[in-house]
Structure 1
């Protein structure tokens, strides 16, 4: 690839622009109709690029899915951490703030909720490492925000955090798949109740 500019963009800038178009297309298509149903040809048509250009950006659908999923996780963690940092130093406040920010942000865009909680599983083995890394990141976030509070149980906090993450994931899968999804406020109240009961001494 040479460095000559085209329409005012360098080769590197053109490559990055195509990558972002593919990521945007994948964000739509991996959410609906879903990862298994989305072909490279369909992604290229949506992004308005050639198949050859696709492979200049990504090795295949799996790598593109990993990129989209990792970005969703990173943005959600940033939103959640920012909210918790501003919460009072009590278990009730941190739990309520963390749960509210997570569920509100994820459900704020149904595509994000579906990719993070349903399509990541449908993608299979190619997303196992990314999914494990995401779970570890959320475990660390939970542990770091409850460990120093006096009212928190001294039981294995890692296992409690893992169990709570699983509970929230199932609540959000129900929200994504239900014909009549439960109100987001009810999801928040349910998850907050579970978290608080799990961690309080």
Structure 2
């Protein structure tokens, strides 16, 4: 392997280790030593890849966002071009995809917050990407919806985030279909009526 390939391979191993450890043990409890042990690399090699746990969390968070957006857009592109269909497809796929792997839901909706101020920018970039996705797929809103589109999209994102935090933290999590029903109801009432 070339030095670049070796570096890329180590970065990937660290991202995989972080995906497991940040979601299982939590960001605050996961040390660099634990990450290195899981990834089977030295501490020195860690710092060749990332400046610290926070930069690794940013890379992992960005990957989760990118994969989720790709999944959502793929599904939305396959439904009839009506507001109701796009809303239902986008919301349903977001929740389905994020809950397919509990670790993804935990990283996107809990651990990114627990990481603290160092991840505020990363989190804001993720929220902005989802706001753009919502606004792009809304098209023309009904005349009865006079609310600022940007603020409405932010509010909807907040509602879904809270549903998913409940799902991640609950001892007896609600069924995913119930999350989808609640979220699509909120979106329909906000955008489609």
Task: Indicate the TM-score class for this superposition, using the shorter chain for normalisation.
Answer: over 0.9
> What residue is the counterpart of 1:109 in the other structure?
101
Conserved 8 A contact 1:104-1:184: yes
How far is the alpha carbon of 1:147 from its aligned partner? 2.6
How many residues of Structure 1 are paired with residues of Structure 2 in the alignment? Answer: 193
> What residue is the counterpart of 2:65 in the other structure?
73
1:56 and 2:48 are equivalent in the alignment:
yes
Structure 1 segments, 4+ long, off by >2 Å, are 147-155
Conserved 8 A contact 1:139-1:158: yes
Conserved 8 A contact 2:141-2:192: no
Distance change in 2, residues 1:89/1:152 (3 Å): farther
**After superposition, what is the alpha-carbon deviation per residue over 1:138-178, rounded to whole angstroms, capped at 9, x for unaligned?**
11111111133557724211111100000000000000000
Q: Distance in 2 between matches of 1:10 and 1:135?
A: 36
Q: Distance in 2 between matches of 1:150 and 1:163?
A: 18
Structure 1 length normalisation: TM-score?
A: 0.93
> What residue is the counterpart of 2:9 in the other structure?
17
Q: Distance in 2 between matches of 1:186 and 1:132?
A: 27
1:187 aligned to 160, 176, 179, which one?
179
CA-based RMSD of the aligned residues comes to 1.2
| SS in structure 2 at match of 1:34 | coil
Which ranges in structure 2 are unaligned for 5 or more consecutive residues?
Answer: none
1:153 aligned to 145, 155, 158, which one?
145
Which ranges in structure 1 are unaligned for 5 or more consecutive residues?
Answer: 1-8
Q: Distance in 2 between matches of 1:152 and 1:178?
A: 37
Asked which structure has the greater CA Rg, the reply is: 1
